[in-house]
Amino acid sequence: MSNELMTKAVTYEVNNEEVKLSGQIVKQYLTSGQAVTDQEVTMFIQLCRYQHLNPFLNEAYLVKFNGKPAQIITSKEAFMKRAESNPNYAGLKAGCIVERDGELIYTEGAFTLKTDNILGAWADVIRKDRREPTHVEISMDEFSKSQATWKNMPATMIRKTAIVNALREAFPQDLGALYTEDDKNPNEATQTTYKQEPEVNTTKTADVLAKKFSGAPQIKSVENVQESEEESNNASNHGETTEPVNGVEEPTATAEVEQGKLL
């Protein structure tokens, strides 16, 4: 299927208009940044096809930078079109969350005072088939990318992001797989690390607890005590003593007490 999509064009309809996509068209006109792979192009074509997106109207495009896997970006306008096409959509409200004169204020729209400290944004999406609107609140610290647009129009950007997140939550079947460039894509971290070898964690539980409680003495776990006689003798040279019980050395009462305190 991947090779076929790279050589043959796929045709589908978006708002009664015909859209034709092929691998060559995507690579030549609809990508930004570094060169994309055939697999990434195939995923992009399939998403546009099944979600009825028109990339020639900037409803979706493919972005790849810094050697990371390509990301499929969807515009806010595409979110709005999909939501408005749902018969249960009944409108939305959105605004900013700011700190003003020591109080937390929920504003309407993207208007804020110069003295406001913009903390985040909120959005309500209303559906005819639900008793309560879908309410979403997001923080500026989590979503701000510190780019020029976010610095120049922070209220507009954070409000737009809140709207997109609320729409996705209100219409998961229509928008669940779509993300804008300002979104936090939960798959992004997995995509950028799935080829890396997993790290083996060799830290002992007792070591972690002892490190967490800086005032507590370093202790040995039962597993360490049972490893070998040589390690037990080595431990005794550092002030830790053990007593043989049925041929197996166990920690002293003092070590057990300290371990009990930590656990």
pTM of the full predicted structure? 0.63
pLDDT score at 186: 52
Rounded CA separation 96/111 (Å): 8
DSSP 57: G
Mean pLDDT for each consecutive 10-residue tract of the chain (263 residues)?
71 90 91 90 91 91 87 89 93 97 96 96 97 96 88 95 95 87 58 35 46 45 45 49 47 47 42
pLDDT score at 201: 46
Residues 6+ apart with CB under 8 A from 25: 9
Rounded CA separation 186/212 (Å): 30
Residue tagged 């009462």 (tokens): 253
pLDDT score at 183: 75
pLDDT score at 9: 87
Angle at 201 between CA 197 and CA 203, to 5 degrees: 160
Give me the residues paired with residue 62 across strands.
31, 72
Rounded CA separation 62/38 (Å): 12
Sign of CA dihedral 157, 161, 166, 168: positive
- Contact at 8 Å (CB) between 63 and 49? no
Backbone angles phi, psi at 72, to 5 degrees: -90, 115
Give me the residues paired with residue 244 across strands.
249
pLDDT score at 5: 67
